[in-house]
A and B are shown apart, each in its own frame.
Chain A
Amino acid sequence: MIDSSQVFEEVKKRTGVPHPPIVYNVENGMIERFLEAIGESNTKWRNNNGQLIAPPTFPLILGFDCMIQELNEVPSLTILHGSTELESYLPIVAGDTLTIEMCITNVREREGKTGQTLFINFEIKCRNQQHELTSICRQLAIIY
């Protein structure tokens, strides 16, 4: 059974160390699930070839599960989302193969009212099958 201090130490050790790349084969179903999850119409996001185009906020979900996976393994921890920044460079369409490069860029530690609190900054870069940068997402997670 791992405890919160072990998780905190592990997170700090991983600062600056790239997470193994994550590959997504984006198909219509993946975009459809995203559209349904945000209550969007799937007719608006279709191109002339019948392919679904991902809304610009789609990259927010890429790699997110890996980002918080280990943190979720300690039930006593509270995990909150501090902020999100998204820069979008190229559209993503069904049929794309995306590679996610994720890294913890900074960890700050502070003693809060509820004990030790970590502020973890993540950077998540997304490239398409032509190795073109499609988006950069920066996330702040707060755990205590």
Chain B
Amino acid sequence: MNKQLYYEDIVPGSDIPPCIKTPDKMQLVKWAGASGDYNPIHYDKDYAMEHNLPGVIVHGQLAACYLGQMITDWIGEKGQLKKLAVTYRGMNTPGEPITCTGVVVNKQIDKEGNLVSLKIWAENLNGEKTLTGTAVVVLPVRE
């Protein structure tokens, strides 16, 4: 079980511990099965290249889930991921690492709870940001 993060621990500007994933083609098959996303650009190299892609590419939503996993690993069991928004800006290819990371932007207490705003992104092997986005989490306070 990951360590519990508390609202008091949050310092705006601090980094979120990265999460690195290297999905292979089998992982894409598993994602297609779980999500119902059978777009051939994710499993048929010839089809993908005919559509001006470099080859089979990783499902954007799978990479978005990796960002979600980075956040839930970081906030611990009592934290809640309330909002996640990402824009797909580039391609990730199977067999290459996707590095998910982020930074704390702001913290504030309002009627929704102890909110922490994040800037998040995923990078490919070349350091290009393939997903960029934001997230909001709610964290507990210490007793």
Contact = CB atoms under 8 A, between A and B. Distances in A.
Q: Determine the main DSSP class of A at the interface with B.
A: mixed
Contacts of B72: 55-56
Interface residues of B, number: 37
B68 A57 contact: yes
A10 interface: no
Contacts of B47: 75
B83 A86 contact: yes
Given A39-B27, A44-B1, A68 B85 contact: no
Contacts of B34: 33-34, 36-37, 61
Contacts, number: 103
A70 interface: no
A72 B69 CA distance: 29
Interface residues of A, number: 31
11 contacts: A33-B34, A36-B30, A39-B21, A57-B68, A57-B69, A61-B61, A64-B36, A84-B88, A88-B80, A88-B82, A88-B83
Interface of A: 33-34, 36-40, 44, 55-57, 60-61, 64-66, 68, 72, 75, 78-88, 114
Interface of B: 1, 21, 23, 27, 30-31, 33-41, 47, 51-52, 59-62, 64-66, 68-69, 72, 80-88
